[in-house]
């Protein structure tokens, strides 16, 4: 079975990471196809606590100094408008920070990750295995960071991996070549 992972497509990141807003229509197209087929979708998100305690080492000082990036409960931490199955859906930061999956619709959840890779110290692999997932497709924000780490994390756990480059901001040719070398399939948004 195939599942879709959306990575860090949150308002603050879309505002800060060049090219992310431009990829949203492609992401919406992929999401619509997965929803139409009843395939599982997991929206993977980040939150940074104001004290920086859950921030990556390279961002910890900035968060502690008041950067206020994807702060739990803020508008900037919410999924980009148009990606949720219900326009009024809001993320339950307490549930997500505690390691739970928030059901957004049938076969669609949100999940928090504490680091770049969505599989690192999360229940994502167990969740996908229970659903019978063998292949993950990835879209999201800023390929050089979290989408790439998640793709490698999925591959290391023996999931087949597919990507939609037009639905991933920060994608570049050398990155595509590197992914091809580890067996990642590339699909266009029209292919879905």
Q: Is residue 192 part of a domain?
A: no
| Tens digit of each residue's pLDDT (9 = 90 or more) over 118-143 | 999 999 999 999 999 999 999 999 99
CATH number for the domain that contains residue 110:
3.40.50.850
Residue 109 has pLDDT above 90, yes or no: yes
Q: Is residue 165 part of a domain?
A: yes
Supply the range of the domain harboring residue 178. Answer: 2-186
> What is the number of domains present in the chain?
1
Alpha carbon of 105 to those of 35, 36, 85, 110, 188: distances in Å? 10, 12, 7, 10, 25
Q: Is residue 118 part of a domain?
A: yes
Alpha carbon of 125 to those of 2, 30, 131: distances in Å? 13, 22, 10
Q: What is the pLDDT of residue 190?
A: 72
Q: Is residue 191 part of a domain?
A: no
Q: Is residue 88 part of a domain?
A: yes
Q: Is residue 80 part of a domain?
A: yes
Q: What is the CA radius of gyration of the chain?
A: 15
pTM for the structure as a whole: 0.96
Contacts of 126 (CB under 8 A, 6+ apart): none
Indicate the SS3 state at residue 19. coil
Residue 189 has pLDDT above 90, yes or no: no
Indicate the SS3 state at residue 174. helix
Average pLDDT, the chain: 95
Cα–Cα distance measured from residue 159 to residue 86, given in angstroms and rounded to the nearest whole number:
29
Q: Is residue 89 part of a domain?
A: yes
| Mean pLDDT to the nearest integer, 89-104 | 96
Q: Is residue 158 part of a domain?
A: yes
| Mean pLDDT to the nearest integer, 162-191 | 93
């Amino acid at each position: 079975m195939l599942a879709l992972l959306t990575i860090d497509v949150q308002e603050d990141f879309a505002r800060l990471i060049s090219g992310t807003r431009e990829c949203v229509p492609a992401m919406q197209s992929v999401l619509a196809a997965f929803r139409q087929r009843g395939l599982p979708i997991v929206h993977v998100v980040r939150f940074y606590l104001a004290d920086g305690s859950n921030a990556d080492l390279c961002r910890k000082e900035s968060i502690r100094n008041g950067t206020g990036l994807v702060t739990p409960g803020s508008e900037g931490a919410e999924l980009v408008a148009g990606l949720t199955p219900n326009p009024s859906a809001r993320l339950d930061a307490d549930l997500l920070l505690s390691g739970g999956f928030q059901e957004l619709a049938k076969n669609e959840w949100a999940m928090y990750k504490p680091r770049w890779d969505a599989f690192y110290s999360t229940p994502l692999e167990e969740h996908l295995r229970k659903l019978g997932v063998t292949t993950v497709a990835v879209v999201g924000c800023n390929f050089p960071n979290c989408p790439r780490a998640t793709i490698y994390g999925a591959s290391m756990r023996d999931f087949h991996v597919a990507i939609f480059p037009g639905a991933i901001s920060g994608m570049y040719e050398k990155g595509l070549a590197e992914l091809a070398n580890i067996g990642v399939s590339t699909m266009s948004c029209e292919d879905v």
